[in-house]
Amino acid sequence: MNNTNSSQSERTIDFGFSKVPLEEKVKHVKGVFDSVAENYDLMNDVMSFGIHRLWKKHTIELSGIRPGQTVLDLAGGTGDLTKAFAKRVGKTGKVVLADINENMVRVGRDRLTNEGIIGNVEYAITNAESLTFPDNTFDLVTMAFGLRNVTNKDKALAEIYRVLKPGGQMMVLEFSKVTQPMMAKAYDFYSFNILPKMGKWIAKDEASYQYLAESIRMHPDQETLKQMMLDAGFDKAEYLNMSEGIVALHRGWKY
């Protein structure tokens, strides 16, 4: 009887504060982003008061990306990072905007095409746990606000390591654990009392933004994620807290 219960437990996984069958998490996450794709950029601006643009700008500045290099923008969504990197790698470089969600890729492709970002950008629908790229392909892999939605984060980190070239870098920008106690209390109140209401008013979707708040709390903290990166094979890993740890930028290198 205990073995049966254990087996059932092993086949469930966190979806926010709820538990869902392991094989169904991708479907549930897809439903969230299908729902919010059209309003994704607007909601990012509103719920972060525009600060997400500063977090992403700092990530881009630290990347050290140069003309002619190749970048994988994993869970690239509507293309904020892709747009910036496409300008930096120039005509001789390449950026791949990849996401598991077809609607997000479509919104990103339409947005970038309308802004004239063409020629050195490709688009791919792929699962971070089983990337459809050869070994040693990219100089840089970025993942902004996507890792917490991945079912098996260890597999995703190992796959990112696999597709990086020797000397390549991974940059994961993700919500993390707030380090300042008073700010943590205020952040919790905002996340669970205000953020879902913003989702209801602006995106007409309260449940998806309730999931957002919950998924942030279930994501590994800074030190745990750093160790996961090292366990996945990265030769060096470090992180930088932003906004008192509301967001952390984790960096890993393949030597």
User: Per residue in 207-231, pLDDT tens?
Assistant: 877 887 888 888 999 999 999 999 9
DSSP structural state of residue 244: G
**Tens of pLDDT along 84-112?**
999 999 999 999 999 998 988 999 999 99
103 in a structural domain? yes
Tell me, what CATH number does 129's domain have? 3.40.50.150
The pTM (predicted TM-score) of the whole model is: 0.85
Q: List, in order, residues 6 or more apart from 98 with CB less than 8 Å away.
A: 72, 73, 74, 75, 76, 105, 123, 124, 125, 126, 131
Residue 192, in any domain of the structure: no
* Residue 75 annotated as part of some ligand binding site: no
Residue 100, domain extent: 38-178+211-253
Do the domain assignments include residue 221? yes
In a domain, 168, yes or no: yes
| 78 assigned binding-site residue | yes
Whether residue 244 is contained in a domain is answered as yes
Let me know if residue 72 belongs to a domain: yes
Instruction: Say if 162 falls within a structural domain.
Output: yes
In the chain, the number of structural domains is 1
Q: Is 149 annotated as a binding residue?
A: no
Neighbours of 173 (CB within 10 A): 24
Q: Is the dihedral of CA 34, 35, 38, 41 positive or negative?
A: negative
Lowest mean pLDDT among 12-16, 37-41, 184-188, 210-214: 37-41
Tell whether 73 is covered by a domain: yes
Q: How far is Cα 28 from Cα 65, in angstroms, rounded to an integer?
A: 34
